[in-house]
Amino acid sequence: MDKDCLIVIPARYNSRRFPGKVLARIHGKAVLQWCYEAAVKSALGPVVIATEDRRVLDFAESIGAGAVLTSGKCRSGTDRVYEAAKGSKKKFIINFQGDEPFLRAETLLAAFKVMRAGFDIGTAGAPITDKADLGNPNCVKIAMTGTGRALYFSRSPIPFRHPLSALKNSPWHKHCGFYIYRRSSLERFVKLPPSPLELLERLEQLRALENGMTIGVAAVKILGPAIDAPEDIIAAEKFIRSEGLKAKCKRLQTWRPGNWRLGDW
């Protein structure tokens, strides 16, 4: 399978809801380091961290990760990814968001396979097992077809289950916040203006759907908590204990640590 990919981790320090969250510690390790190590483990291609803040850049260099300083004016994580990937000639660009510390390498690989099957963009989702997630606006829900094509993403609980519905199993799924783009799809996406539904829900993937782009969703069994607010650190620690994950991880080496420049990959 052709794995001509560049993985970019947009790591914005100045998050509105949780400033500095990418450097917050989970089980003794920064959120961003969890993300970086999973990205490297996928072996889909070189990994670079893209940030607007020198503190994140310094941290990336301290763990041997390639990093670039991008504009503070980027409107979204995907815009930051595009800026970092401009000098690359890779066929596929992966937006591995810096607040998804439990995104597994196998999930990336599954989404890459789905995207290659004929979608513009690939991502992943898992069944919602905790009813609290349905009412949590930070947990993004997906409505999709039986073949995995995304119909809509929302912070509200979708689809609505009518009391008279004959379905016995709940069809609710939550979204894992990453995207795999064909280069042409990424170039098209960033040229589009923010769409009405995107601005309403503050979900950039709705821009793609509103403009006729297709998003394929790989089905996975479980997704760990994303880090959107300070209380998510507590949920992450609980998840680690429940999954029996070990915090002691060896530092992984990538293609060339240090002061990377746009175009080095």
Q: In this predicted model, what pLDDT tens digit does every residue of 8-27 receive, in sequence order?
A: 999 999 888 899 999 999 99
Between 214 and 75, the higher pLDDT residue: 214
Alpha carbon of residue 104 to chain centroid:
11
In DSSP terms, 219 is beta-bridged to: 125
Quick check: 262 pLDDT over 80? no
Please, which pLDDT band fits residue 2 given cuts at 50, 70 and 90? low
Number of Cβ within a 10 Å radius of residue 104: 18
Q: With 0-12 CB in 10 A as exposed, 13-18 as middle and 19+ as buried, what is 188?
A: middle
Interval 92-149: pLDDT, tens? 999 999 999 999 989 999 999 999 999 999 999 999 988 899 999 999 999 999 999 9
Give domain limits for the chain.
5-243
- pLDDT > 70 fraction of the chain, expressed in percent and rounded: 91
Q: Supply the pLDDT for residue 256.
A: 34
Q: Could you give the angle at the alpha carbon of 115 between the alpha carbons of 94 and 70, nearest 5°?
A: 15
- pLDDT > 90 fraction of the chain, expressed in percent and rounded: 70
Q: Could you give the angle at the alpha carbon of 53 between the alpha carbons of 48 and 56, nearest 5°?
A: 55
Q: Supply the pLDDT for residue 255.
A: 32
Closest CA to 225 of 240, 213, 217, 235: 235
Please, which pLDDT band fits residue 259 given cuts at 50, 70 and 90? very low
Quick check: 223 pLDDT over 50? yes
Please, which pLDDT band fits residue 166 given cuts at 50, 70 and 90? confident
37-59: average pLDDT? 94
Which residues contact residue 200 at a Cβ distance below 8 angstroms, ignoring those fewer than 6 apart?
Answer: none
Is residue 96 classed as helix, strand or coil in its secondary structure?
strand
Is residue 122 classed as helix, strand or coil in its secondary structure?
strand
Q: What is the mean pLDDT of the chain?
A: 88
What is the signed CA dihedral for 15, 16, 19, 22, rounded to 10 degrees? Answer: -30
Quick check: 264 pLDDT over 80? no
Closest CA to 227 of 239, 217, 218: 239
User: How many helical (H) and strand (E) elements, i.e. helices and strands, does the chain have?
Assistant: 8, 11
DSSP string covering 176-239: EEEEEEEHHHHHHHHHSPPPHHHHHHT-THHHHHHTT--EEEEE-S--PPP--STHHHHHHHHH
Alpha carbon of residue 41 to chain centroid:
15
Please, which pLDDT band fits residue 251 given cuts at 50, 70 and 90? very low
C-alpha distance from residue 223 to each of 102, 126, 129, 173, 186 (Å)? 7, 6, 11, 10, 25
Closest CA to 33 of 181, 254, 262: 254
Q: Supply the pLDDT for residue 245.
A: 53
* Answer CATH for 5-243 from 3.90.550.10, 1.10.3720.10, 3.40.50.300, 1.20.150.20: 3.90.550.10
Cα–Cα distance, 246 to 134 (Å, whole number) = 29
Quick check: 257 pLDDT over 60? no
Quick check: 225 pLDDT over 90? no
